[in-house]
Amino acid sequence: MKVRFREDQRKIMGYTRGYMGIPAVPGAGKTFILSHLVAKLAREELQEGEEILILTYMNSSVINFKERIREVLGEEGAQYLKRIRVITIHKLTSEILRENQERTGLANDYSNLTQANMYYLMSLAVNAYKKEKQKDFEFFLDVNEKNERNYKRWSDELVQMTLKLVSKCKNEDISPERLYSITKKYRRESILRVGGDLYSRYDKLCKKGGYLDYDDLLYLAYRLLKENKEVAERYRKKYRYILEDEAQDSNRIQNKILKLITNGNFVRVGDLNQSILATFTNSSPQLFSDYLKAHPTAPMFTAGRSSREICNLANFFVEDTRKNHPLKVARTALANQKISPVAAGDYPPNPQMDVYGIKAISEDTEYREMNKMAAFIDAFSKKYPEKRVAILFPKNYQIENAAKLFKKKGMKFQILADISERLVETLDFLGDLLLFLSRPYDGRKLVGILAHLVELDPERDSKLMRYLEGISMEKLFFSQDELNISEEMKNNEHWEEISKNIRRMKILLEFPQNSLERLLLFSGEIFNFTAEQQLLIEKVSGDLRRIFKLNPRWSIYDLAGELKKTRASEFTYLAKSVEEETEEKIEERYNITLTTYHKSKGMEWDMVWLFNVNSNSFPAYLSDNDYGRQNYLKKEYEYPRDYMEGEFRREFISREYENISIKRKSERIAECTRLIYVGITRAREYLILSCNEGHDNYYFRRIRDFIESEREIYEGYKKGE
């Protein structure tokens, strides 16, 4: 069937060569049009030996692009797939280094360090520093706040702020040796002095393990390409076209790499209004903005994702921010990009609504806000079981609270977070497995295992579960004939599956117990785990020696308890590492999703609830913004990241004074503004915003007033029909 492109898409499909920028609004169909453009270029423009390179920033995007391009090409175009590369920027730089290893001087066995492993190694550096220089570590803490809880908070803060310092140093070409040699002469009052020491320790750990982190990959690849013109030329000839998705998330060194390997056929696609990563990364949306000013553009401002009412709200939010935001520097936080609904006859059409599907709700407290939300979502999902629903939260603890509330109500949901539900369940399973192995005579521990392997419902299958908890484990595993299992139990729909898993458990019980590492690996083989889950089990088993070294008094029972902390456990970094190393499509088993505003980017749902649109989560004034404050530190160090940034700037950038706190707060306010925009544009049909009056919010009030006026107009129009 011939594809009918919209007017804005036809201009993009006419591209054959040169530089082009595509600014796009949410729901405009970026993946759709890029997939069709790539398929067309592969069929019509590629010469022998040439390829098309598509760069993106998330593994999930890699999967989506590959699937969509495969669909567009079809079976008759399958031969072109091998000439289309879809990879992340970090995978590209890793390949460049490995393909030119003789020029880099790198060892053959170096390993790429994931974000999670970077955090782990920096944690080791901080722990060693704390042990060796306890007085220096404690110096920054308020004299009345020196306790174990705050030692842990300060350690965690040092890990995060030093990792950001490391990234900044690599982007500025400042070696750990140079930073350390300068800062070691500073007085104890310097936080940058601590950062220099920690960076030096972290670097030694990386070299000892043969690790390169993400910034190493970027920096070394850039240096290789810059210093070896023939290498850069080889990639320019290889990649006839380069397309960069999510270009607003690029940083300066990535930008330099792409300039070195492009031969002039370069397409960059992005949405400046969805630049929400600068708080966590060194991304610079200004780079994409400058690119759009310097080169021809093909804007995609038409979108069919959301109803006209939601599009109107998103457009109001852009216009109101640009005209009226109380902080003048934040008025440019959103680019002047308005969403146009799809014209009649074009595809896909915007959802048509019989009601005005947008509300703003305010409650007295967060507790009431949470309960109101849960009751509404429960009722909505029962009324519209086919609708996909998401609740977006500013903070992770709110997701955990909502999950507990939803479970009490018997609601089925998934959590979309840094660690997939499947990997969380795997950690929980390993915990239950070890609990059972440490207490094999306890039927309750067996039921805990079976609950992972068989779909047991606590209410419907309560009789079966009580039966399993009460029978002799010895007889169940080694002499079932003596149990006289009733026909009622044997006829239960789950009994066959239970029997199969009991046989597997028996094999585990008979496995030599002298190696816990081998036992866990074996469990990964006999149960039906995915490749992703097996990789996590391998990582956990390989990490046991470290865990027991840190906790020499632990028993298997203690280890099980740690695993069952799931998202809060010692093993979380391993699960995050698996997420970063594998290309897994986001799986939604249920129609209700709990996630953060940040994690929702790139997703869409029929109904979206924006939770906690409050001043503490979405500041609009400098006085609102307490982000980064560590109130357990001495007064002058309460904002340690700003303090370190100021020291770094004076030493390496400019002696000219700049108020780092105001700059950082202004940047955060701008990013929070974009985060609300991202939240609004996730919704297709229904949208609810909520806040609590303890932290009233500028944005909430502006949006609520607009919603109320629009509702009156909508309902008046409906009455007049």
- Please confirm whether the linkage preceding 348 is cis (ω < 30° from 0): yes
Residue 104 assigned as binding residue: no
Q: Which amino acid is at 123?
A: S
DSSP class of residue 121 equals H
Q: Which helix (H) or strand (E) holds 200?
A: helix 191-209
Beta carbons within 8 Å of 150's beta carbon, 6+ residues apart = 141, 632
- What would the two tokens of residue 517 be? 């590492």
Residue 379 assigned as binding residue: no
Residue 296 assigned as binding residue: no
Residue 29 assigned as binding residue: yes
Closest CA to 330 of 707, 672, 719, 591: 672
Residue 24 assigned as binding residue: yes
Residue 679 assigned as binding residue: no
Q: Tell me how far CA of residue 368 lies from CA of 465, 475, 691, in angstroms.
A: 35, 51, 10
Backbone angles phi, psi at 683, to 5 degrees: -90, 135
DSSP codes joined into one string, 213-276: -HHHHHHHHHHHHHH-HHHHHHHHHHEEEEEESSGGG--HHHHHHHHHH--S-EEEEE-GGG--
Q: Which amino acid is at 99?
A: E
Beta carbons within 8 Å of 109's beta carbon, 6+ residues apart = 210
User: Do residues 310 and 297 lie in contact, with contact meaning Cβ atoms separated by under 8 Å?
Assistant: no
Distance CA 128, CA 120 (A): 13
For the four alpha carbons of 66, 599, 119 and 255, in that order, the dihedral sign comes to positive
User: Do residues 72 and 36 lie in contact, with contact meaning Cβ atoms separated by under 8 Å?
Assistant: yes
Beta carbons within 8 Å of 296's beta carbon, 6+ residues apart = 18, 19, 20, 21
- Secondary structure (H, E, C), 609-653: EECCCCCCCCCCCHHHCCCCCCCCECHHHCCHHHHHHHHHHHHHH
Binding residues: 24-31
Binding residues for ATP: 24-31
